Amino acid sequence: MNREDSLKALRLGTYLAFLIYGIFGILDFFMLPVNYRTAWFIRYAFVLPTSGICLGISYLPKAERFAPALITALLIAGQTGILAMIITASPGEPAFLGYYSGLILMILACEFIFRLPLKLTIIFFILSITAYTITAIFIQNILDEDVIANGGRWLIGNLFFMFSAGVISMMGTDRIHKEKRISENAKLQAEQANSMKSSFLANISHEIRTPLNGIIGYSKLVAEDNISSNNRSSYLEIINYSSNQLIEIVDSILHMAEIETGQTELQLQELNIEEFTGDIISEFSLFAENKNLDFLFNCNIAKKQLIVKTDAQKLRFILNNLINNALKFTDNGSVTVKCFIVATLLTFSVTDSGIGIENKFLDDIFKPFFQVNSGWNSRVRGNGLGLSICKSYCEILGGTIKVVSYPGKGSEFTVQLPLLTRRN
Ligand code: ADP
């Protein structure tokens, strides 16, 4: 039980103490015909004021810190009160037998109200019964065999009862905790999903607005009569660039939405992995040439293993994104793409000698919309969705994506996918 719950249990315990302890004062007339005034003193001048003090403290600020101590005080006061009434009873008054039930009520409170650990409840029980038996023998001088035998039976019976109650309540508490944990998790997930949705919408409207503003602004300029043909063609180039950017964003959003709603389907087909990767490389060769980069491709896979069964569309997206990023974030040196097989894993690595990524961002770059905040991201096109989609696609294909990177030296992204089937 956490401290907040202990505090609530303590308050419930004190209210019950007021009720039961208070009302049972009437019983004193019948059970303690000689000594009922002493019993009233114990009840109303000791136990109930102590309970009142505990209750009062429980409403003080930061009282949860004292909850365990207050519960202990309440239990000791309650049980000592009952024992005191038994001890002060005159021999022959029926309180000795009748007030045994009071002791048991207190022990039940340990178990069901204060939810003490089973071990503590049993210790409390044994102490109470021992004190009771000592009272019987040495103070009340009851050496009657029946009482002693009864005491033994009560002891064993109640120990068994306590143990069973403890196990049942532990099982119950465990189930309640489990249910509480599940509902707290569900609440947390719903809150996270909600805040992710809000930030997703905020990000996406920003991402869409930028190219749209470009298209609208430059279309107006193109429509003007008095602009030079040079300006017109550069404006058209900007419009073309912004339109492509818009298409990329819309495509990425569709991919993300499919992933989020679990609608991404695997469409497996056999393909020659060397030809497939080679085709993607050739689409980027002009980009690499324009940046004066060495663009290398090495496929080290035996001929008989070249045909693999995979989802071509997803693999194309992954490789396109990794190669595009490598070329985007590299100004000098080279970009190398390799494919090879490690055990039963089809492996691709894309290595560049570009700007690299700081260690602290290596996890973040796989989160939607994350872009390392450097001047570069304003120079190159991107929306921060590519790597997060790559990661989801790798997982859907049963594989992994990893990155090793050193700022100023370059990065290496490695994708490993299981070889689903191989033609021998
Ligand atoms: P983006 O569309 O911005 O490229 P990605 O999700 O593909 O989105 O990448 C997220 C960010 O990770 C990039 O904006 C960039 O800051 C960083 N990044 C990715 N690949 C590289 C790389 N090869 N070298 C340096 N930084 C990279």
Nearest CA to ligand 1 atom 16: 372
pLDDT of residue 365: 94
Q: What is the pLDDT of residue 121?
A: 78
List alpha helices for 261-305, DSSP H: 273-290
Residue 369's region, left for phi above 0, alpha for psi from -120 to 50, else beta, is: left
State both tokens at 359. Answer: 């260690």
Report residue 70 as tokens.
């207050």
State in Å: Cα 301 to ligand 1 middle. Answer: 28
Q: What is the Cα–Cα distance from 272 to 309, expressed in whole angstroms?
A: 9
Q: Tell me the DSSP string of 364-409.
A: GGGSTT----STHHHHS---S-HHHHHHHHHHHTT-EEEEEEETTT
Asked if 281 contacts 337 with a C-beta cutoff of 8 angstroms, the reply is: yes
Using CA atoms, how far apart are residues 111 and 102, in angstroms rounded to an integer?
15
Distance in Å, CA 391 to ligand 1 centroid: 13
Confirm or reject: Cβ of 352 under 6 Å from ligand 1.
Answer: yes
User: How many residues can be counted in the chain?
Assistant: 424
Task: Encode the chain (424 residues) as per-residue pLDDT tens digits.
Answer: 677 788 888 888 888 888 888 888 888 888 888 888 999 999 999 999 999 998 999 898 888 888 888 888 888 898 889 888 888 888 777 777 778 778 878 877 887 788 787 778 778 877 887 787 777 777 767 665 655 565 566 666 666 666 666 666 666 666 777 888 888 888 888 887 777 667 777 777 777 888 888 899 999 888 888 888 888 899 999 999 889 888 888 888 888 888 878 888 889 999 999 999 999 999 999 999 999 999 999 999 998 889 999 999 999 999 999 999 999 999 999 999 999 999 889 999 999 999 999 999 999 999 888 888 656 666 677 778 899 999 999 999 999 999 999 999 999 999 999 986 444 3
The span from the CA of 233 to the CA of 205, in Å, is 28
Closest CA to 3 of 84, 58, 75: 58
Single pTM value for the model = 0.56
Indicate the SS3 state at residue 352.
strand
Residue 270: how many CA atoms within 13 Å on its side-chain side?
7
Measured from the CB, is residue 384 less than 6 Å from ligand 1?
yes
Ligand 1 midpoint to CA 86 (Å): 80
Task: Quickly list H helices, 224-311.
Answer: 229-260, 273-290
In the reported structure, the alpha carbon of residue 321 is separated from the centroid of ligand 1 by a whole-number distance in angstroms of 9
State whether the beta carbon of 382 lies less than 6 angstroms from ligand 1: yes
Q: In this structure, which long-range contacts are made by residues 167-176, counting pairs with CB atoms below 8 Å and at least 24 apart in sequence?
A: 167/118, 169/111, 169/112, 169/115, 170/118, 173/115
Amino acid at 13: G
